[in-house]
Every structure is written in structure tokens, then in C-alpha cells.
Amino acid sequence: MAKTNRTYKETYNACLDYILSLGAEACLPPEKEMAAKWSISRSTVRAVLDHLAEEKIIHWKGREKTVLRLPAKADYFQASETRPTADLIEPAFMQYIVGGDLAPGTVLRESELAKNFGVSASSVREYLIRFSRFGLIEKKPNRYWVLNGFTRDFAMELFDVREMFELRAFDTFVQLPRDHDSWKKLAALGDEHRYLQEDIDGRYMQFPRLDDRFHRLIISTFHNRFADDFYDLVALIFHYHYRWNKTGEKERNADAVEEHLMVIDALGVGDFDVGRIRFREHLQTARRTLLASVSWD
Amino acid sequence: MAKTNRTYKETYNACLDYILSLGAEACLPPEKEMAAKWSISRSTVRAVLDHLAEEKIIHWKGREKTVLRLPAKADYFQASETRPTADLIEPAFMQYIVGGDLAPGTVLRESELAKNFGVSASSVREYLIRFSRFGLIEKKPNRYWVLNGFTRDFAMELFDVREMFELRAFDTFVQLPRDHDSWKKLAALGDEHRYLQEDIDGRYMQFPRLDDRFHRLIISTFHNRFADDFYDLVALIFHYHYRWNKTGEKERNADAVEEHLMVIDALGVGDFDVGRIRFREHLQTARRTLLASVSWD
DNA sequence: ATCTTGTTTTTTATGTAGAAAATACAATTT
DNA sequence: AAATTGTATTTTCTACATAAAAAACAAGAT
């Protein structure tokens, strides 16, 4: 097989949605317009129109494109068919290494992973090359990939850099004029934290999303692509950490919400020094929590 | 064509060297030992032995491997044939973008690069994926790669992080016990700087190598893989910067040698505060120098 | 004359084939 | 029996083929 046709399938689904929004007996716009709408080429638009006509959803002759019937659930492609291969590999791969709690030094074979994940070896290969930038895996030329693994040292070094970046960003943040957009966003985040806190038992699972947004807001004020990029790694680690380590999950999240709020509130009343101390403490807690879950030296 | 046989060719050349070191009429060790010697498989060793026998350089029958004649220059494979594809692409690629002074936003097509560099599209593709971790290029899915380029912003952000890492490492460095290996290395580097300074007109071209070693020595005391990794990018940028921007090269290098020595000497006599100030100043100079050479906003 | 569609060409994405290299196992020599 | 070689199998690497998607071009409609 060659290239996958997920662009086509994704566009087809988007087009079905679009037809629904237009209603029955409507006319579709010119091909060029549709291509621009979804940022794809006219070739793909025409392939979609072809299929729509085949399915008797529209009548298509030249510039005549009239809706014959509204699409139903069954007309859509499955979500799994539209996702890009890389998006398919990531969770599978992370499940494999984090979920499997593999020891550092474990050998990873492209062909084996490809078989496990049901994708081609080249896709796996490209994913691993991309993933290797995080420093968790390494290639032995002509041999295999080796899992450096999420060791204690790795976690410590990760947090050393994270703290440098976030504290630097924090200092930039507090210097922003009070009418800056970021202050508004911080206040809004504070409200969301309080909403979550109101029913922490029922909503604690939503914390990771909030945690990510809080820290990204801070980091973003640094305006540094390398710091942003580094936070991708932090986020990846935390995402899968939260996902597979469920012990004391509720308490951990409740504590973190509390800590975030102490920072947000201190900043809200202009007490930057206290805010900084609380922020440092929060980073320390995060470090301890993560280190506690590291199974390898 | 399939896999390249550069491992074989490289091993063959290494084996010729080895035979020369053994002298005439010597016997080669067991296959397993040779495989271990060059960290390759026995299959490759046997392929090499096959060729050696064919060329009548050795007589090979079972475990009998006697040298018949000493190899000559002509027996070796060309250096270009033994270099890994990736090593072949890097200088070509950097020449292409830095040497060509391409504007940010320039479109890079895999097929075009492959044709230019005389390698396969897949090799180029893998190189670009790996290179993309530096943030200088970006992939537009289903389209092409775009050169984000070495802009003023990029250089500024690069230096912000570089300064954070290096100053942090510096503070760790001065805390090291005086009998630590790194202090000895620093003193040795000081001598090398002075040697270079003695005849700066004749030796200034050697400075980039020294610059790299000086900064890597500092960075290494931080013991942080992310900082080390980041310095790879800094080194890459500087390497090609030094390579293509020759204006005022001698003066720049002479100044930098002077600055390095001020840091090294201050530290040598235990004056850490002055050393730190000088080190900061040196980083500032480096930033200014690099920014002066940025052609794009 | 401009906009839109029909057709062709170019480029990208990804599975596959086949050689290279590694690895495993069997046979042989010491 | 241990070490080494011979042979077979497995895995990796990379050029290539081909479908998808984009882009360019030509023709037709308004």
C-alpha cells in the first residue's frame, strides 16, 4: 500500500458536517472555496464530491452541487480511520513503555513494534526518530533502539531545567502590566480551579488539563521557543504519569489545586514574593510526586 | 538499491590498517575477536576476510588467516564511500541553508534536496526529521518543509537559554573542590589559550575548537542531559557561523581568547565574583557578535 | 475578463523488496 | 569440553514503487 487517504476521509466527514449545517436542498460552494475552507487541495475536494455523489448525498454535475439528502451517522468514516498514523502510534508506544514499566536498557525492535501496533515499520521508525529528541530512547546503529528509560536521574535533570524555565517565566509574568491579557487569563484559571475544588471528588480527573494550562500560561510569558518545546516533554511525561499511576490520585490533584490557588491568589492581591515562594513550593511538590513514582534508578 | 555497505567498507579499511600494524606473514585473530575489536558482527568480518582473500592480501582457509602481502594505498576504499549517509547530508544541508543565506519561509522539498545532495529521498527525510528538533525547520503536512530560519528572535531566544544554562553551570563549577578534575582541565585550557595567543595571527583558526571545549567544560559540570543537548545546537550554529562569516574573524577570535583568559585567570586565583562578571561579559559579546551576523528579522 | 471546472503533472507519504548486517544455531577443530 | 568456524535465520536499512494529495495548466461557463 502507499499513502493513506486520511486527508480525504477527514475532509469527507467535515463535509458531511458542513452539509448538515447548510440544510436540505442547499447548494455547495465552488471547489476552490471548499479547498480553502479546510486548507486542502482541490483534488481532495473533488474526491470527496465524487464519493458524495456516489452515495447520492448530493447531485454533482459541473458547478451544480445540490444536496439530495441529509447525511446520517452511518455515512461518516470511523474516527480511527481519520486519525494520522503518528497519533495512532504515540499512545500505543507510551502504553508499551510506561504502561509496561520497561526497565532502562530494554531493547526496542522496529519490526516488533510495527507488528504490535499494526502499522508499517517505516512509520514506527519515523516516530522513534522524532521521539528520540526527548532523550528517552537511543539508536544503536545497525542494531536496535534502547530505552534509556525514565530513571531517577532523568527525572531530576528534567525538573532542574523545568524549574529554571518556569521560575524565569514567573519573574517575567509578574512584571507584566496588570491590564495584560495574561493576568485576565490567570484570574479566569483561578475561577476554574475554584470550580473544580467545589466538587473535587467528582472533578479531580479534570485537573491534568488545568495543570497543563496553568503552567503553559506561565511558560508562555517567557516567549522562548526552547522553553515551550521543553514543556512539551514535561507535559508528555506528566500526561502518562497521571494516566498510569493512579495511587493517591485524588489527594495529589487536590493538593495541587490548592497549591495553584495559593499562587494565583497571592499574585491576585499583588503579593509577588509570597506568590514566588508558593510557586517554588508547588514545583518542589511536583518533583517529589513524580520521583516517588519512578521505578528505576 | 538497498542498504549501503559502508560498515563493510569501513571495516575493510580498518582491517588493512590492522594488517599493516601486524606486519608481514602475521596471523589474524579469530573472527569473533575481530568482530569485538570493531564492534561489528561476524558476518561483516567474514565478508571482509572474503574480500581480503580475493585480493590475495591474506590466505584464508578455516582458522588459517595468514598475511600474504602488506596492503597498499590502492587497496583502500575511498573515504567518501565509508562515511555514513547522515554525515554526508549534514554539511551539504548546512551549506545549502546557511551558505545560501536563505530567507525564513523558504520552501524545502525533500526530492529537490535529495537530488542536490545525491542521496535518496528517505535519507533526506530522516535527516530533516532529526534536524527539526532544533526548531530551524518545520514540516507542513502533505506539503513541504519550511525554513523558519536563523532569525533575530531565534538568536535571542537561543542566547537567553544558553546564558541560563551556562551561568547555572558556572555556579556549580566554582563550587567544585579545587582538586577536582575539571579545575585541572580548566588550567590546561588556560595554557592552550595562551599558546594560541602567542601567535594569534597564525593560529586564530584553531579558536573555534578551543571555544567549544571551554564552554563544554563549563556546561558539563551541570550534569544535565538537556543542557548538554542544547549545547549541541549552540555548537552547530556557531560552527557554521564561524565557517561562513569571515568578516573580522581574526579580531573576533582574538577578543574571545582574551575574554576566556580573563575568566580562567580570575578563577585560577580564586576570584569567583570577578570571574562570573567576566564570564557574563563574554556571553554578552558572543551574543552581540552572533546577532550582528543575522541577516533576517 | 473572470471565475469555475476538467485534466495533467508534480510532489509527498508510506508500504515493500531486497541487500547488508546482526544474530542464532549447527558443525568442526583443537 | 571449549573455542572457532560454517550455515541459516532474523532484523535493519534504504532505494523504490505507487497511491494520495497538491499544484499547474487548459478549457469552458458566466
| CATH classification of the domain holding B49 | 1.10.10.10
Kindly state whether residues A171 and A99 are assigned to the same domain: no
**Cell matching residue A63:** 458547478
Are B157 and A133 in contact (CB < 8 Å)? Answer: no
Q: Are A174 and A267 in contact (CB under 8 A)?
A: yes
Encode pLDDT of A145-158 as tens digits: 888 878 899 999 99
Looking at residue A83, the DSSP 8-state letter turns out to be S
- How far does chain B reach from its first CA to its final CA, in angstroms? 43
Mean pLDDT of A208-236: 95
- Asked whether the predicted pLDDT for residue B263 surpasses 80, the reply is yes
- Asked whether the predicted pLDDT for residue B89 surpasses 90, the reply is no
pLDDT category at A88 given cuts 50, 70, 90 is confident
- The Cβ of residue B9 has, within 10 Å, a number of other Cβ atoms equal to 19
Kindly state whether residues A129 and A202 are assigned to the same domain: no
Kindly state whether residues B55 and B15 are assigned to the same domain: yes
Kindly state whether residues A173 and A247 are assigned to the same domain: yes
Encode pLDDT of A12-56 as tens digits: 999 999 999 998 889 999 999 999 999 999 999 999 999 999 999
pLDDT for B282: 97
- Closest CA relative to residue A290, chosen from A206, A233, A218: A233
Residue numbers in B near A168 (CB within 8 A): 164
C-alpha dihedral sign at B210, B211, B217, B223: negative
Ranges assigned E (strand) in chain A: 58-61, 64-67, 107-108, 137-139, 145-147
| C-alpha to C-alpha distance for A63 and B34, rounded to whole angstroms | 72
pLDDT category at A293 given cuts 50, 70, 90 is confident
On the CB side of A2, CA atoms within 13 Å amount to 0
**Per-chain mean pLDDT for chain A:** 90
Residues 134-193 of A with CB under 8 A from B: 135, 141-142, 154, 157-158, 160-161, 164-165, 168
Kindly state whether residues B159 and B281 are assigned to the same domain: yes
Q: In this predicted model, which residue has the larger pLDDT, A217 or B247?
A: A217
Q: In this predicted model, which residue has the larger pLDDT, B83 or B153?
A: B153
Looking at residue A224, the DSSP 8-state letter turns out to be -
Q: Are A69 and A102 in contact (CB under 8 A)?
A: no
Residues 222-281 of B with CB under 8 A from A: 223-227, 229-230
CA distances from B204 to B66, B207, B211, B261 (A): 48, 5, 11, 15
| 3-state helix/strand/coil string of chain B | CCCCCHHHHHHHHHHHHHHHHHCCCCECCCHHHHHHHCCCCHHHHHHHHHHHHHCCCEEEECCEEEECCCCCHHHCCCHHHHCCHHHHHHHHHHHHHHHCCCCCCCEECHHHHHHHHCCCHHHHHHHHHHHHHHCCEEECCCCCEEECCCEHHHHHHHHHHHHHHHHHHHHHHHHCCCCCHHHHHHHHHHHHHHHHHHCHHHHHHHHHHHHHHHHHHHHHCCCCHHHHHHHHHHHHHHHHHHHHCCCCHHHHHHHHHHHHHHHHHHHHCCCHHHHHHHHHHHHHHHHHHHHHCCCEC
Q: In this predicted model, which residue has the larger pLDDT, B57 or B240?
A: B57
Mean pLDDT of B213-241: 93
**Residue numbers 109-128 of A with CB closer than 7 A to any atom of strand D:** 109-112, 121-122, 125
pLDDT for A45: 95
Q: For strand C, is any atom closer than 7 Å to the CB of B143?
A: yes
Q: How far is A157 from chain B (nearest CA, A)?
A: 5
pLDDT for A253: 92
Q: For strand C, is any atom closer than 7 Å to the CB of B40?
A: yes
- Range name among A8-17, A239-248, A270-279 with the lowest pLDDT average: A239-248
Domain range for B214 = 152-292
pLDDT category at B195 given cuts 50, 70, 90 is very high
The burial of A242, by beta-carbon neighbours within 10 Å (0-12 exposed, 13-18 middle, 19 or more buried), is given as middle
pLDDT for B227: 97
pLDDT for A92: 84
pLDDT for A169: 97
Considering the domain boundaries, does residue B280 fall inside one?
Answer: yes
**Cell matching residue A241:** 504519569
pLDDT category at A67 given cuts 50, 70, 90 is very high
- What length is written for chain B? 297
- Residues of chain A with pLDDT > 70, as a percent, come to 98
Answer with the one of B58, B80, B102 that is the final residue of a domain: B80
Considering the domain boundaries, does residue A1 fall inside one?
Answer: no
Answer with the one of B80, B99, B119 that is the final residue of a domain: B80
Are B126 and A129 in contact (CB < 8 Å)? Answer: yes
Mean pLDDT of B143-153: 87
- Asked whether the predicted pLDDT for residue B265 surpasses 80, the reply is yes
Kindly state whether residues B88 and B73 are assigned to the same domain: no
Kindly state whether residues A275 and A160 are assigned to the same domain: yes
Q: For strand D, is any atom closer than 7 Å to the CB of B100?
A: no
| C-alpha to C-alpha distance for B43 and B183, rounded to whole angstroms | 46
Q: In this predicted model, which residue has the larger pLDDT, B97 or A65?
A: A65
**Nearest Cβ partner for A135 among B7, B161, B229:** B229
CB < 8 Å & 24+ apart, contacts of B114-118? B116/B92, B117/B88, B117/B89, B117/B92, B117/B93
pLDDT for A80: 67
pLDDT for A226: 96
pLDDT for B38: 93
Residue numbers in B near A40 (CB within 8 A): 142
Kindly state whether residues A211 and A260 are assigned to the same domain: yes
- Asked whether the predicted pLDDT for residue A1 surpasses 70, the reply is no
Among A44, A142, A161, A233, which would you mutate to test the B interface (most chain B Cβ atoms within 10 Å of its Cβ)?
A: A161
- The Cβ of residue B215 has, within 10 Å, a number of other Cβ atoms equal to 22
Q: How far is A7 from chain B (nearest CA, A)?
A: 9
pLDDT for A87: 76
Within 7 Å of a protein beta carbon, the nucleotides of strand D are 3-9, 11-24, 29-30
Within 7 Å of a protein beta carbon, the nucleotides of strand C are 3-8, 11-24, 29-30
**Nearest Cβ partner for A161 among B133, B158, B224:** B224
- Range name among A188-192, B75-79, B190-194, B213-217 with the lowest pLDDT average: B75-79
Answer with the one of B127, B147, B167 that is the final residue of a domain: B147
Mean pLDDT of B129-149: 86
pLDDT for A150: 84
**Residue numbers 56-95 of B with CB closer than 7 A to any atom of strand C:** 62-63
Kindly state whether residues A125 and A39 are assigned to the same domain: no
pLDDT for B1: 61
**Cell matching residue B124:** 533526506
Q: How many domains does chain A have?
A: 3
**Residue numbers 234-293 of B with CB closer than 7 A to any atom of strand C:** none
- Asked whether the predicted pLDDT for residue A216 surpasses 70, the reply is yes
Considering the domain boundaries, does residue A297 fall inside one?
Answer: no
| C-alpha to C-alpha distance for B281 and B277, rounded to whole angstroms | 6
A129–chain B Cβ distance below 8 A for any pair: yes
Kindly state whether residues B118 and B218 are assigned to the same domain: no
| CATH classification of the domain holding A287 | 1.20.120.530
- Closest CA relative to residue B259, chosen from B240, B242, B243, B278: B278
Kindly state whether residues B28 and B59 are assigned to the same domain: yes
Residue contacts between A and B (CB atoms, under 8 Å): 51
Residue numbers in B near A135 (CB within 8 A): 225-226, 229
**Per-chain mean pLDDT for chain B:** 90
pLDDT category at A93 given cuts 50, 70, 90 is confident
Q: Are B45 and B39 in contact (CB under 8 A)?
A: no
pLDDT category at B82 given cuts 50, 70, 90 is low
Q: How far is B229 from chain A (nearest CA, A)?
A: 9
pLDDT category at A82 given cuts 50, 70, 90 is low
Considering the domain boundaries, does residue B1 fall inside one?
Answer: no
Are B135 and A160 in contact (CB < 8 Å)? Answer: no
SS3 A219: helix
- How far does chain A reach from its first CA to its final CA, in angstroms? 43
SS3 A87: helix
Kindly state whether residues A171 and A249 are assigned to the same domain: yes
Are A168 and B168 in contact (CB < 8 Å)? Answer: no
Considering the domain boundaries, does residue A132 fall inside one?
Answer: yes
Contacts of B170 (CB under 8 A, 6+ apart): B218, B275, B276, B279
Pairing of strands A107-108, A64-67: unpaired
Residue numbers in A near B141 (CB within 8 A): 84
- Asked whether the predicted pLDDT for residue B192 surpasses 70, the reply is yes
| C-alpha to C-alpha distance for B138 and B147, rounded to whole angstroms | 7
SS3 A146: strand
Mean pLDDT of B183-193: 97
pLDDT category at A85 given cuts 50, 70, 90 is confident
- The Cβ of residue A188 has, within 10 Å, a number of other Cβ atoms equal to 12
Encode pLDDT of A120-130 as tens digits: 788 888 888 88
Encode pLDDT of A169-188 as tens digits: 999 999 999 999 999 999 99
